[in-house]
Amino acid sequence: MNRIQTIAGLRENPEVDVLVIGGGINGISVFRELALQGVDVLLAEKGDYCGGASAALSRMVHGGLRYLENGEFKLVRESLLERDRLLKNAPHYVAPLPTTVPIFDLFSGMANGAVRFLGLSRRPGRRGALVIKSGLAMYDFFTAARRLVPTHKFRSRAETLKVWPAINPAIRNSATYYDAWVSHPERLGTEMLRDTMNQKPSARALNYARVSLGDASLALNDELSGETVAVKPRLVVNATGGWIDLTNSAIGAVAPKLMGGTKGSHLIVDNRELHDALDGHMIYYENEDGRICILFPYLGKVLVGSTDIRVDDPDRARCEDDERQYIRQSLSFVFPGIEIADADIVFQFTGVRPLPISQDSFTGRIPRDHFCELIEGTGIVPPTLCMIGGKWTTFRSFGELAADIVLERLCRQRIVGTENLPIGGGRHFPMAPEKWCAERAAAHGLSLDRMRSLFERYGTAADAVAAYLAAGQDELLPGSDYYSAREIRYLIANEYVEQLEDLLLRRTTIAITGALTYDLLDAVLDILAVEKSWDAARKAFERADFLALLQRQHGVDLDQLSQKEQGRSAECASTRKSA
C-alpha cells in the first residue's frame, strides 16, 4: 500500500486498532510485532524513519558492560541475548567486534563500584584490572549456553604494546572481549518495515506524518502535501523516545513529565594513522574523568564518541564545539602520539537517549532499562502506552513487551514470535559469501567487485537489487566508487524515500563516510527530482535545505571537504610521479 492509498484509506475509514507514533527502531519494532499478530496497526513518523536517535547510536550492539556497576544485571543479560539474536537474524548488518579495554590500574574502582552498586551517589572513577576482570567473567557467564563469540582474554603490558604500539605507554594491562557492531542501523529499520508490509499488506506506515489533537479525534497531517485526515485509534503507542512528553502534549494525553534524556555526540574521523592503530578492534576506554568512550573502525573511517549531557529540547540537540574538543581530548589520552586535525572530522552526529526522568547528579547512573507507562484515555484521546527508556540493542524485546501489553488490552492472543525471524537481507544468509557473490554476479552479468559492494550494503537482498541494475544501464554516479544512478532509482522506488536527506543520510552511507561532493549531491538530486516530478523551485529548496542541515547537524561543509579531497588527489599524483 503506497502513501496515496494509505491516506485515501484513512479518509474513507479513520478507525484503526492501534496507532504507533514514532518511526524509530522501537516504533518499527512494536509495529512489526503487532502487524504479525494480525492487529490493524498504523505507524506515523513526523520525519523520516529512523531519522532521530535511531540514526545517532554509537553503532554498537552490546550487552552494556558498564551497566553491571549499577546492578542492571537483567538489562545486561537481556541485551546480550538480543545481541546474539541480531548476529543470527541480521548478519548482513550486525557482526562480531573485538573490543579491547586499556587498563591502567590493578585495584582502582573496587570501592567506587561497590558504592554505586549500593545505590549511593558517586561519580565515576578509574576501573582497575580486578573490576574489569569481574565484569568480563560475568559477560562470559551470561552467554555460556550459546557461545557465539570467544571469551575474554587478558594481555600484559608488553603484549598490549606489541599489538597496539601507539597506545598510551602508561598502560598496565588490556582485556579483549567480543561484542558486536551494526554497519547500517537506519537501513535495518527500513528493512523491518518492508518485511512487515510485504507479509501483512494491510499494515500501514507513513513517514513525514505528524499526529496532533483534532476537533473530534486525533489528526494526522501529511507534512508533504499539507492534507490532514482524522484517525481514530482504540489505543496509541507513543514510541517517540526523547520526544515522548512533547508527543503526549500534542495529542492531549494528560501525563506527568516522563523523560529526562541525555545527548550523545559522535565524530567520524578520516585519519589513516588512527584507523591502522586500532588493528580492527574497538578501544573501549575511560577518559581521564572516568567517563567511558569508544573508538572503532567504521566503513573505512573511525567512529569516536561519546558525550552524555542532559538536554531539554531534543529538536535542538547537536554536537557543540566543546563536545568535539572533549572527544578529541579523550583520543589524545588513549593514543597520545596521534593528532586529529579539524579537517579529519568528516561527519558528526548527536542523538538523544530516551532515558526516564531522574534527579541523579551524574547522568551515567540513570537506568538504561526499558518499561512501559499506560496513560488512560480521556474524552476523544485514547489510552496511550508510552515506551520509556531502552537502548538500540534491545529494540526487539522492547517492541515485544509493548506489543504484549497492547494485545492484552485488545483481548488478542500472540500467534507468532520474532525471536528467530530474519530481517531483510539477513534471510538465507550464505555460509560462503564470496561464493554467493560470484554466483549472483555471473547470473546478473555484473562484475564480482560490484556484487560484493551490493552484498555489503544489502545482504542477500542484493540479489533483487542486482536484477534491477542488470535490466538497465548501471553507471556509477560522478565522484562515487560504489553507488550508481540506477541503484538510487531502486532505493527511491522501494524504500519510502521522500526527501534528499533520506537518500544521502539514511538509505546510503554517502554522507556519513565523508564521500559527499557537490557533483554527487546534484546527481542524486537530479534523479530524485525526476522520480518525484519536482520543479526547479522545489529542487532548489531541497538542495539549500539539505546543505543547511549538513552544516547545522553534522558539521559538514562541502567546500572544505572538496578542498581536502583535492589535496589528497594532488598528494597521490605526486607520489605516483615520484615512483
Q: How many CB atoms lie within 10 A of CB 72?
A: 17
In the chain, % of residues over pLDDT 90: 76
Question: Is pLDDT at 314 greater than 70 in this prediction?
Answer: yes
pLDDT tens, residue by residue, 395-405 = 999 999 999 99
CA 8 – CA 14 distance, rounded (Å):
10
What's the rounded mean pLDDT across residues 107-123? 44
What single string gives the DSSP state of each residue in 548-577? HHHHHHH---HHHHHHHHHHHHHHHHHHHH
Count Cβ atoms below 10 Å from residue 373 Cβ, excluding itself: 15
Predicted TM-score of the model (pTM)? 0.92
- The Cα–Cα gap between 91 and 427 comes to 9
How far is the C-alpha of 41 from the C-alpha of 403, rounded, in Å? 11
Q: Which one, of 262, 245, 249, 261, lies nearest residue 386 by Cα?
A: 245
Give the helix/strand (H/E) hosting 92.
none
**Assigned C-alpha cell, 238:** 507513543
Q: Answer with the residue of higher pLDDT: 33 or 134.
A: 33
- How far apart CA 191 and CA 402 sit, in angstroms, is 21
Cα-based angle 349, 351, 357 (whole degrees, multiple of 5): 155
Predicted local confidence at residue 130, as pLDDT: 80
Kindly state the DSSP code that residue 444 receives in the 8-state scheme. H
The answer, yes or no, to whether residue 124 has pLDDT greater than 60, is no
> In the structure, what pLDDT confidence band is assigned to residue 107 with cuts at 50, 70 and 90?
low
52-100 pLDDT, tens per residue? 999 999 999 998 887 777 778 888 899 999 999 999 999 999 999 999 9
Q: What is the pLDDT of residue 119?
A: 42
